[in-house]
Amino acid sequence: MNYIFNIGRYWLFMKQLVARPEKFSIYWKQLVRELDNFGYGSMGIVALTSVFMGAVITIQTVYNLVSPLVPMTAVGIVARDSIILEFSPTMMSLVLAGKIGSSIASEIGTMRVTEQIDALEIMGINSSAYLVLPKIVAAMLIFPFVVIISMFLGIAGGWIAGVGAGVISSEIYIRGIQDSFVPYNVTFALIKTVTFAYIITTVSSFYGYYTEGGALEVGQSSTKAVVYSSILILVFDYILTQLLLT
Amino acid sequence: MIEVKNISKSFNGRPVLENISMQFDKGKTNLVIGGSGSGKTVLMKCMVGLLEVDAGEIVYDGNNFSSLSFKERKPFRQDIGMLFQGGALFDSLNVEKNIMFPLNMFTNMTLEEKRERVNFCLQRVNLVNVNQLTPSEISGGMKKRVAIARAIAPNPKYLFCDEPNSGLDPKTSIVIDNLIKEITEEYNITTIVNTHDMNSVIEIGDKIVFLFQGKKEWEGTADDILKTEHRELNDFIFASKLAKALKKQS
């Protein structure tokens, strides 16, 4: 029953976001701040995860390629496609759900319990639109760039690990990542990324916005935001793959 | 002037306000007093539109505020300033930007004009050289004063203060009380203060309304309150030994 209530409440919350901004310049400033926060602010964790992810995929693929009938260029192909199709969009979104989702939920949740949201409402400001809309737009705009960077870093990480460990030559790896490249895979990855960006920001904002109580409840909202964003990312990953790749 | 006409509010079937009517006059510091859980904050939230009433009307200078939609309430909201219990300053903004916030949102003032207004409001609440400090860098009393400065920045017609003295020492409480009283008279605004601070009741209350278990039990002035025979009000006002001793002396 609680799930149905929350789903209904979530859609009503979404409806509140569709409002004309009180002052466009203020929303624009908020958007730029969020772009910086979500993009530049996430680069560290994204770079680190991507490089190591690419490195592990490459070494594991080499380790599993035992048949002499499969050419070594397959390592590059497997690393590239794994990173582009799944690891960069989905894994990065799960990482960002943890980092950005919890931050959004705790920021908005704290604003709720310290009456800062009430202060906005008193002033006649649509608090949900003011606080949440710039976050959604910023995430949907910046996440694709973050994921593209992650793709490059992942593939580069694979090259560093493979060549550095001496399990594959630089030339074969590079030939592999160029072989049978399907540009649509990048488009597919970006569609997924934009969808996940929407899920992370709206679900996290929703849990933050409806926080009731104090510090304990802010923490609970933050946890719920990450858990439900992650579950929805996995569900929509499957749905989008089924719809767009089959 | 704000009129509250027969309002009721309940949560999950539990009545919190029952058929309350009162009137708050312009240029006066109107106090709503009562113990914890008496319904003071719910009443204030209903009056400013943060909560919807189940029945009754909230009338601002002849306009039925409670019957208006969110959009229709906007012009009224811009005339409302509110001081929250914890100050409710925006953590991510410094003092200057906090006070400037309503001006940024609803005026076309230039940056210079806005800065001038911010400095004027800060001076009015006796704060200087705090513009660049963040809320986490200032004391509780200063937060309250900054919150008052933010509330008065857009020249409101109505000022609501929810427990302005909570968490403050007696001396700072007096400063805040006097500030609220001065601003009310200086700008001729309708001020409503929720409090259970007896010093505020005696010092600044032009009109006092006592709530008990969600009902209006008593209404009068600071002078009346000292002479009242109302049992619940006496129990509330003269709860401490010091207050009891003072009453005996008087």
Where do the domains of chain A lie?
42-245
**Mean of pLDDT values over A167-179:** 94
Of B198 and B157, more confident: B157
Nearest-CA distance from B138 to chain A in Å?
16
pLDDT for residue A105 is more than 90: yes
Contacts of B81 in chain A (CB under 8 A): 122
| Band of residue B250 on the pLDDT scale cut at 50, 70, 90 | low
Contact A115 B86 (CB under 8 A): yes
* Chain B, nearest residue to A19 by Cα: B71
Query: B181-191: per-residue pLDDT in tens?
Result: 888 998 899 99
3-state secondary structure chain B: CEEEEEEEEEECCEEEEEEEEEEECCCCEEEEECCCCCCHHHHHHHHHCCCCCCEEEEEECCEEHHHCCHHHHHHHHCCEEEECCCCCCCCCCCHHHHHHHHHHHHCCCCHHHHHHHHHHHHHHCCCCCCCCCCHHHCCHHHHHHHHHHHHHCCCCCEEEEECCCCCCCHHHHHHHHHHHHHHHHHHCCEEEEEECCHHHHHHHCCEEEEEECCEEEEEECHHHHHHCCCHHHHHHHCCCHHHHHHHHHC
Complex ipTM value? 0.85
Taking every pair of Cα atoms in chain B, the longest distance, rounded to a whole number of angstroms, is 58
In chain B, where the domains are located:
1-79+160-219, 91-155
For residue B70, the chain A residue with the least C-alpha distance is: A124
Mean pLDDT (chain B) is: 88
Q: Which of B75, B88, B101 is the closest to A118 by Cβ?
A: B88
Judged by CB atoms closer than 8 Å, whether chains meet at A23 and B77 is answered as no
Mark A98-128 as b/e (b = at least 16 C-beta within 10 Å): bbbbbbbbbbbbbbbbbbbbbbbbbbbbbbb
Q: Please say whether the dihedral angle defined by the alpha carbons of residues A110, A112, A116 and A117, taken in this order, is positive or negative.
A: positive
Where residue A217 falls among pLDDT bands split at 50, 70, 90? very high
Given CB atoms, is A36 within the 8 Å cutoff of chain B?
Answer: no
Strand pairing report for B190-195 and B207-212: unpaired
pLDDT beyond 90 at A142? yes
Q: Which of residues 124 through 153 in chain A touch B, CB cutoff 8 A?
A: 124-126
Q: Which residue has the higher pLDDT, B13 or A160?
A: A160
Closest CA to A119 of B88, B73, B196: B88
Tokens representing B174 are 């007096």
Is it the case that residue B241 has pLDDT exceeding 80?
Answer: no
By mean pLDDT, which of A28-42, A126-140, A230-244, B60-74 is the weakest?
B60-74
Residue A222 sits at φ, ψ, to 5 deg, of -65, -45
Q: Are A115 and B84 in contact (CB under 8 A)?
A: yes
Q: Which residues contact B141 (CB under 8 A, 6 or more apart)?
A: B168, B169, B172, B175, B176
**pLDDT tens-place string over residues A30-88:** 999 999 999 999 999 999 999 999 999 999 999 998 888 889 999 999 999 999 999 99
What pLDDT does residue B119 have?
93
pLDDT for residue A22 is more than 80: no
* Neighboring chain B residues of A22 at a CB cutoff of 8 Å: 105-106
Give yes or no for residue B249 having a pLDDT over 80: no
CATH superfamily of B1-79+160-219: P-loop containing nucleotide triphosphate hydrolases (3.40.50.300)
Looking at beta carbons, which residues of chain B come within 8 Å of A110?
Answer: 91
User: What values do phi and psi take at B55, rounded to 5?
Assistant: -150, 155
